């Protein structure tokens, strides 16, 4: 891809940290100009106006929606880099058609998200949050505790990608039985029993979601799936709010079938439904599973470096699409910066690994912590929704297992 013949402009649409110092240092060190939007994610129309005004060569986006109209608004645009993993706030198809790279940082928060999931499981088995609230309310009743031994439980991990594998490994260290559902998982997953989704739900005391949000996975867990779970079980969602029917979860908690729901993400975030808040079994955190001092700094630096790399005419390290050729650019057989070949159908193929099932499509999904929606990628084409359906392959990677979204 031909680099711009002038210093470029990079638009940071939004950010979930105190300032833009990390991004600015990387971008300006390469001779480009950083333009920063509001800290909070703006509506799609506001982002489109920012793009039209500044005509950036590159866009860095955290949770703000980058729509097809935004991508069309800058003829100079070369890359949209996600400050995160999931792509449900970017119109990937539109970028691909316009010859614009879409990238993510797929592995920056593997330990943090898996730690968060396991921490939520431990908080439930040991009653940490529930009995902290009891004590603060003036109730000291150790005889009333109904706690669990983790090593005797079966934990089901839905989505056996990077984060799912880390969660399974950590749960295995506690001695519990681990099941996993992922049609792209290797058949020899050591220490984990691979099974279909329905079987996993029926046999698991704890169900943990590590799945990207696509049309196929929207409300992957609803009333029907919750009814299959063992009575008194726990549901953990540290991926995307739209994977879960929140009303169905609330009903299950209120009826006593589901004992706990540990949710780091909500479909309505930042708004939290009052009835969910009223459930003693609800353990809620504000979309922070990805976060640590180390992970956030790494994320910001690597995403900004990806933009600088692409504007210098190099292929990105973590491409999530195969852009159409632009005037003056070469065509076909584009080599990703990590040595993977980005094929004509949009799959990212490693040099010694089979082709993933994933292709970049278009869908609607929640854009991070906002309640609005934006054009988003279907990270796998032709996948089936619901029980027994396939999970999408993680975009921008060369492996064949399903991925997660952060």
Residue pair 242/267 in contact (Cβ under 8 Å)? The answer is yes
What is the spatial distance between Cα 219 and Cα 223, in angstroms, rounded to a whole number? 9
Tell me if residue 218 is catalytic. Answer: no
What is the spatial distance between Cα 333 and Cα 176, in angstroms, rounded to a whole number? 45
What is the spatial distance between Cα 222 and Cα 382, in angstroms, rounded to a whole number? 21
Residue pair 213/191 in contact (Cβ under 8 Å)? The answer is no
Counting Cβ atoms within 10 Å, is residue 397 exposed (0-12), middle (13-18) or buried (19+)?
Answer: buried
Furthest CA-CA distance within the chain: 75
CA distances from 386 to 67, 193, 200, 225, 334 (A): 28, 20, 13, 9, 35
**Could you say which of 23, 48, 269, 404 is catalytic?**
269
**Could you say which of 116, 287, 300, 302 is catalytic?**
287
What is the spatial distance between Cα 310 and Cα 152, in angstroms, rounded to a whole number? 50
Residue pair 339/314 in contact (Cβ under 8 Å)? The answer is no
The partner residues of 349 in beta bridges, in order of sequence, read 341
Tell me if residue 240 is catalytic. Answer: yes
**Could you say which of 116, 218, 240, 300 is catalytic?**
240
Tell me if residue 267 is catalytic. Answer: no
Among all residues, which ones are annotated catalytic?
240, 269, 287
């Amino acid at each position: 891809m031909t680099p711009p013949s002038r210093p470029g402009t990079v638009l940071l649409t939004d950010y979930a940290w105190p300032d833009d110092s990390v991004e600015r240092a990387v971008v300006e060190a390469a001779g480009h100009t950083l333009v920063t939007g509001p800290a909070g994610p703006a509506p799609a129309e506001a982002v489109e106006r920012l793009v039209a005004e500044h005509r950036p060569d590159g866009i860095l986006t955290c949770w703000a929606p980058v729509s097809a109209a935004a991508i069309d608004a800058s003829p100079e645009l070369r890359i949209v880099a996600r400050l995160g993993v999931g792509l449900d706030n970017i119109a990937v198809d539109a970028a691909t058609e316009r010859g614009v790279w879409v990238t993510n940082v797929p592995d920056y928060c593997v330990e943090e998200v898996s730690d968060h999931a396991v921490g939520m499981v431990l908080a439930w088995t040991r009653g940490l949050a529930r009995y902290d609230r009891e004590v603060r309310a003036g109730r000291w009743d150790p005889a009333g505790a109904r706690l669990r031994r983790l090593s005797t439980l079966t934990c089901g991990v839905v989505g056996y990608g990077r984060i799912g594998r880390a969660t399974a490994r950590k749960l295995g260290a506690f001695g519990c039985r681990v099941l996993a559902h992922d049609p792209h998982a290797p058949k020899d997953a050591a220490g984990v029993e691979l099974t279909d989704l329905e079987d996993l739900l029926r046999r698991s005391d704890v169900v943990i979601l590590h799945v990207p949000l696509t049309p196929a996975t929207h409300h992957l867990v609803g009333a029907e799936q919750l009814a299959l779970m063992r009575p008194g079980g726990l549901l953990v969602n540290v991926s995307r709010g739209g994977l879960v029917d929140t009303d169905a979860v609330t009903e299950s908690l209120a009826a006593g079938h589901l004992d706990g729901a540990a949710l780091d993400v909500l479909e309505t975030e930042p708004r939290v439904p009052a009835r969910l808040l009223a459930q003693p079994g609800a353990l809620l955190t504000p979309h922070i599973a990805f976060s640590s001092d180390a992970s956030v700094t790494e994320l910001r630096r690597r995403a900004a470096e990806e933009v600088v790399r692409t504007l210098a005419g190099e292929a990105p390290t973590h491409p999530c699409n195969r852009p159409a050729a632009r005037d003056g650019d070469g065509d076909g057989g584009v080599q990703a910066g990590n040595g993977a070949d980005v094929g004509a159908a949009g799959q990212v193929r490693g040099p010694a690994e089979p082709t993933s099932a994933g292709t970049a499509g278009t869908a609607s999904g929640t854009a991070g912590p906002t309640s609005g929606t934006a054009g988003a990628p279907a990270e796998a084409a032709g996948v089936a929704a619901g029980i027994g359906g396939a999970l999408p392959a993680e975009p921008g990677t060369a492996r064949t297992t399903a991925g997660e979204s952060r």
